[in-house]
Structure 1
């Protein structure tokens, strides 16, 4: 009779019961010890990944807020720049879907084609106008 029984190992993907979605939106983790600003990078009905410069320790509870939403959860893992949050109660799928639709995209200035030098074969284009 064995005192300790070795249980089969399951990887993290097998333990998940809901689909996770990649998102990218600003978020804030509100805790008794102070708020942390960051970005939501992964979301499901059961939890989220919160990217921040100084993540809280495992076991800390707080409100994860983004857009018009706030949900209470607990930190279940943390590393140097992110943490995993499990929600106290599953959030509505409609919230997950709406968050996925509002992915923020960083946009820069559009290139002005008049400023791009055109090169002919075998020569480099001159960046200085010949008229000046």
Structure 2
């Protein structure tokens, strides 16, 4: 499956996440990385993933969803859930985006009044002193 286009005719919006989840298959449990999640399915990543068509149970926190492996490509697999997840269940596992902070590019002000008289004299002496000769090698 071509993963270059993230929108690939999806029926449901997928939320990009990076969390751990578990796959239950034939009485064993495998930990996988959850890459994205929607009401209809999930994209997981891990070693030794089941083959395409395998029936399994997907677990993430309180979510326990039966499904099947829709496709496998190297160490990634798409899971199609047997029934759609309720939006409340889904959103509990999708982190809210952090507020965007706009950078402020501003030169700090130069304030002459912040120096004590001793600091001001030291700065003036330094500015008006003879230049330091570079080290010779």
- Normalising by the smaller structure, the TM-score range is 0.5 to 0.7
Q: Alpha-carbon deviations, 1:70-122, whole Å to 9, x = none?
A: 1011100012211100000000111221111289xxxxxxxxxxxxxxxxxxx
Q: How many residues align structurally?
A: 93
Task: Look up the match of 1:106.
Answer: none
2:82 to 70, 74, 88: 88
Task: Give unmatched runs, 5+ long, in structure 2.
Answer: 98-137
Q: With structure 1 as the length reference, what TM-score do the two structures score?
A: 0.63
- What RMSD in Å do the two structures reach over aligned CA positions? 2.2
* DSSP-derived class of the 1:16 partner: coil
**2:23 equivalent to 1:36:** no
Task: Look up the match of 2:64.
Answer: 70
Q: Alpha-carbon deviations, 1:17-39, whole Å to 9, x = none?
A: 11000112111100116322111
Task: Give unmatched runs, 5+ long, in structure 1.
Answer: 1-10, 104-132
Q: Which has the higher contact order (CA 8 A, sep 6+)?
A: 1
TM-aligned CA distance change 1:79 to 1:14, over 3 Å: closer
**Structure 1 moving runs of 4+ over 2 Å:** 11-15
2:43 to 49, 56, 75: 49
**2:35 equivalent to 1:61:** no
Q: With structure 2 as the length reference, what TM-score do the two structures score?
A: 0.61
Distance, in Å, in 1 between the alignment partners of 2:60 and 2:48 is: 18
Whose radius of gyration is greater, 1 or 2?
2
